[in-house]
Structure 1
Amino acid sequence: MSSFQTPETTTPRRRRRLLPLVSLGVAGLFLATACASGQDDTPEPHEDAASASQSAAPERAAVGEGQGEPDALEGLSFSEGEDGAPSVEVDGELATDQPTTRVLTAGEGDQVKEGDVLKMSIAVVDPASGDVLAENFTGDPESVPVDQQLKSMNPEMHDLLVRNGVGSVVAAYSPEREVPAPPADGASPSASPSTQTQPAQLFVYKIESILPTQAQGEEVTERDERLPEVTVQDGRPVIATPEGEAPETLVVQPLIQGEGREVAAEDAVTVHYTGVTWSDGSTFDSSWESGSPFTFSPSRPVIEGWMTGLEGQRVGSRVLLSIPSEQAYGEQGTPTGDLKNEDLLFVVDILDAQAPAPQN
């Protein structure tokens, strides 16, 4: 979206900490930068969610399949305790010099497809000992969109996800390698770049569930008559052309009342949305059209009208927001200079809200 811009637990084998919010692009980015040498790096044409959903689903991956040298991870075994805590056993050395993935458990739930948002548990594992260094299996699973951004950053993991279903467990390994080192303080811009050794890394991912892609709840019948009607076309909400003057203050109109947890100010919130201008009803941004849900949080803030209007709403809800310009982009407009002094309307489906992990 261009314009929107833990307590320790002791086990007999290890000490682990609750994994704070990370993204697959952070926890598994090594595959994007080190896998599949020699493959064509030409970007693929954009494929929207509608065309992707019409494509034949790829064949499900079986246990033992993956990228790189999956047989090198054959000695890995994974289990969960009664409290959900992950345990990893490493039988022998992970003897491969290639970034590698392997399916440890082939889930039998719904198969993942392009455009889905997954709830995934992640464990960071010592590849030599199997000790779990950090994890969110005992906390909240993370929302991970399976979209074109993931495909461009990490095509191997993207392709592996869409060949698996809910319940699947996948291991991803990166061997020790040299990576660019950050420039030293005061270093000359013309200085030769240096490298540093990145230790071997091992992650285990579990697909816990697939989020609904639209609001789920009871329709709200009482409406603010100042606001335009919202209809559903091809499964997507559409805002009718506004009439009259825009309200001078923020208006929050629930259209569907979800039953999930309430959105808190510190949450990472995943939504689908469409935004139009009050002046002529033209659409200026839509995650439904791009095919990728959007996640915002205090570290990735959005306009004031969103932060104020969505706080306290429940996951599963559909909300119509009428936002005066001073709570949108005001006199300055967006970074590209658009939407100056524009009153805006958004219809927002709240798909997920995730609280930050407790800090150590």
Structure 2
Amino acid sequence: MLLSLRRPAAALCVALLIPALAACGGDSGEADDNGSSSESTSGGAAAGELSEVAFEGDVGDSLKATWESAVEAPDATEVTTLVAGDGDALAEGDTVTAYLWLGNGKTKEELYNGYDAGAPESIPNTPEVGPVFVDLLADATYGSRVAAVTSAGELFGDGVEGNQFGVVAEDPLVVVVDLVEKQQESPEPTDDKVHDADPSTQPTVVEEGGKPTGLDFEGIEEPELDTPVQRVVLEEGDGAVVKKSDTLEVDYLGATYDAEAPFDESFSKEPMTSALTGLIPGWSIGLEGVKVGSRVLLQIPPAYGYGSQGSGAIPANATLWFVIDVISAKKG
């Protein structure tokens, strides 16, 4: 499967830096119009502070570290604001577009740079990201650059063994987060039910050899983002009725509006088997009540798909369409 249809993680950073990050206190250079600074910045001299490494580059544009010496791990994670952004304060529940940077304070090695990776991460300002991220984002403002000096043990917790960076629990780590901007929220659909749609309002299925290969959106208007889940039963099966608690075996094809190609499909590979509750909410809403053996077309609003974060080839706030063959259903 090219794309995971599972519910999206709170943020890539949570997977990358589980359970997360905290940082220390210091000064920044003079801020530019966006609240960022390209001047090198460092903190005090004690263990856990950042006199040993300086950072340059504008928030949202670039970040480069210059190491003066190795960094010692503090007794507890320390947080500092390197650049104080002049944007609004982060509010609880905001999703923050952010760039992450991780360095090994012992070897003075850059382990990860989100700017080099080419895309920011989405960090939700909620308790689910863990207590360290909660502390990191507390009282922060958009446009800020916040840093942490910590140990790998504190950063990764129980997941420190076998982490992808090869660090051990005692290794000192430096983490920098650029809090670029608030990510647009997905509009709440007008209701959380499935609606049987007129087929003329939906794209047609393109087939090759009897298998779906794409969707044709010619003549179809892009729906409003708050449109609830729409469903067309293309072929009705004669099997049991699907319940939300079921585990399904399905073939599927997914596409965004007017896309030249699907973002994922299983018809040319192997069917997917998953508990319905483990998939994006639009599937549970749209497939409940469908008979096994059916082929359905679902239109799913972003709030019940991948929301304001998107996922892989799926952009933020994208309405999704899925052609789904329900092969079998087992009681959960």
TM-score, normalising length: structure 2: 0.49
TM-score, normalising length: structure 1: 0.46
